[in-house]
Amino acid sequence: MAVTDLEQRSIDVVRGLSIDAVQQANSGHPGTPLALAPLAHVLFTRVMRYDASAPDWPDRDRFVLSAGHASMLLYSMLYVTGFGLELDDLRAFRQWGSRTPGHPEYGHTAGVEVTTGPLGQGFANGVGIALAEANLRARFGPEVTDHRVFAICSDGDLQEGLSHEAASLAGHLGLGRLVYVYDDNHISIDGPTELSYSDDVTKRFEGYGWHVLRIGEVANDLDALEAGLRTAIAEDDRPSLVVLRSHIGWPSPQYTDTAFAHGNPLGEDEVTAIKEILGLPVDQPFFAPDDVLAFYREAGTRGSGARGEWEQRRIALRGREAHLADEYDACLASRGLPGWEAKLPIWAAGEKVETRKACSAVLDAILDVVPGILAGGADLTGNTGT
């Protein structure tokens, strides 16, 4: 796909919005939004299937920003693609009561799929979302469940034990509709990551059973980013880790590839210098011209046709197999089928029963009437009853 001037200007507008918000708040993480704006652009305009006017569409592709400290990248994209954020929301970044808190919060801002802040949490949540998709697709068919999970993760995510366990499970289960981009920028707040981190990420994830794709120094190459993502998408039997070498803070003259760019506002002079390099007006903070907004808003509604077709397939499922449709709806709503409570086991007051045995009895009793249940334990079946 030929990269247009409008696309490049749109990416630079996202960069400008992100650094303006961090600067106005005098707090935040500007370096990653600067470096990864092209990646976010490719995901939201070329790759992901979603409808910004219906952010809760069940069969939408999910985007998880596991590197939640880079929240302004997500908020800028949600604004320009039409999820309901306004410029005033970006101006209120990190302010009390705003829709743009320092880290994304699920249920607080439309388009935020997962609360991310504790490193590794978004990584693991994305695995859970992919597990739910695989379960629903296997049970109810791809005509009503056929989406993917995309995520951006960081060194900090991969250093957490939680991400190791979740990655192992994803590889074991073959969750092939899971595509993670590892932002390999070599920088943490303390300085170069080599101070505390020397894992061979490629070997580790290959050991987990993932498909690993190193795409190298292409953080500003839209076509190479898209090609890498589509290669990962084509690998349907294994989760994919796309390793991207980026340069945090680019194109900041002072702070590219520095720890300072990770977690500090850049300063008015540096913001001005960046805008001059990008060709943005230095005297117009939160600059979002009409043609850029029109371009992104069109991308944000591009999935409306696919959503309408999905609605028709969901209706057809009900006409074909009403009971199956009832189970599917109960799964989506996280509820039981009518009368499910009657299936619950009963113990007399004072009767002694081990907690794990009681839990096991409850799960066994309601498994067929609460179809969305997925039970699991961190110990073996005999020890947990799960």
- Nearby residues of 196 by Cβ (< 8 Å), 6 or more positions away: 159, 188, 190
Question: Quick check: 377 pLDDT over 90?
Answer: no
Last residue of a domain, one of 260, 284, 305: 305
- Residue the block writes with tokens 């992919």: 130
Residue 165 maps to a domain = yes
Structure tokens at 249: 């803070």
| Amino acid in position 340 | W
**377 and 254: one domain?**
no
Q: What's the rounded mean pLDDT across residues 357-376?
A: 92
Residue 327 domain flag: no
Give domain status of residue 321, yes or no.
no
Which SS3 state, helix, strand or coil, does residue 213 take? strand
Please provide the DSSP assignment of 272-336 as one string.
Answer: HHHHHHHT--TT-TT---HHHHHHHHHHHHTTHHHHHHHHHHHHHHHHH-HHHHHHHHHHHHT-P
Q: Tell me which residue has tokens 């790759």.
A: 47
- Considering the domain architecture, whether residues 270 and 343 belong to the same structural domain is answered as no
User: How high is the pLDDT of residue 1?
Assistant: 52
Average pLDDT on 225-239 reads 97
Residue 122 has pLDDT above 60, yes or no: yes
Domain assignment of residue 203, yes or no: yes
CATH, residue 33:
3.40.50.970
Fill in the amino acid letter for 365: A
Does 212 map to a domain? yes
List, as one string, the DSSP characters of 104-123: --TTTSTT--S---STTHHH
Whether residues 95 and 206 share a domain: the answer is: yes
C-alpha of 64 from chain center? 1
How many CB atoms neighbour CB 171 within 10 A? 20
Collapsing DSSP states into helix, strand and coil, what is residue 150?
strand
How do residues 284-294 score in pLDDT, each as one tens digit? 999 999 999 99
Secondary structure letter of residue 337 according to DSSP = P
Task: Over range 373-377, report the average pLDDT.
Answer: 85
For residues 129 and 261, state if they share a domain. Answer: yes
Residue-wise pLDDT for 267-322, tens only, equals 999 999 999 999 999 999 999 999 999 999 999 999 999 999 999 999 999 999 99
222 SS3 class:
helix
State which H helix or E strand residue 247 sits in. none
Query: 337 near 322, Cβ under 8 Å?
Result: no
Whether 336 and 363 have beta carbons less than 8 Å apart is answered as no
Domain that holds residue 217: 5-305
* Confidence (pLDDT) at 189: 87
- The helix (run of H) or strand (run of E) holding residue 214 is strand 211-216
Assessment of whether the complete model's pTM goes beyond 0.85: yes
CB distance 15 to 278 below 8 Å: yes
Note whether 225 and 365 are same-domain residues.
Answer: no
The DSSP H or E segment spanning 188 is strand 187-188
40 and 110 housed in the same domain:
yes
Alpha-carbon Rg of the chain, whole angstroms? 22
> What is the percentage of the chain residues whose pLDDT exceeds 90?
93
AA letter at 342: A
Whether 126 and 175 have beta carbons less than 8 Å apart is answered as no
What digits encode the pLDDT tens for the residues 203-219? 999 999 999 999 999 99
- The mean of the pLDDT values for the chain is 96
Which residue in 343, 297, 383, 267 sits closest to 24, CA to CA? Answer: 267
pLDDT digits (tens, 9 = 90+) for 127-176: 999 999 999 999 999 999 999 999 999 999 999 999 999 999 999 999 99
- Single-letter residue type at 187: I
Q: In terms of domains, do 80 and 220 share one?
A: yes
170 and 36 within one domain: yes
Residue 330 lies in a domain: no
The secondary structure element, H or E, covering residue 8 is helix 5-25
DSSP assigned state of 47: I
Helix (H) or strand (E) holding 240: strand 240-245
Are 213 and 356 within one domain? no
221 by Cβ neighbours in 10 Å (0-12 / 13-18 / 19+) ranks as middle
Residues 131 and 52 in one domain: yes
B/e letters for 249-276, b = 16+ CB within 10 Å, e = fewer, are bbebeebbbbbbbbbbbbeeebbebbbe
Check residue 370 and give its pLDDT.
97
* Residue 2 predicted with pLDDT over 80: no
Number of structural domains found in the chain: 2
Question: Could you tell me if 205 and 168 are in contact, meaning their C-beta atoms sit under 8 angstroms apart?
Answer: no
245 and 345 co-located in one domain: no
Q: How far apart, in whole angstroms, are the C-alpha atoms of residue 16 and residue 373?
A: 44
- The answer as to whether 21 is a domain residue is yes
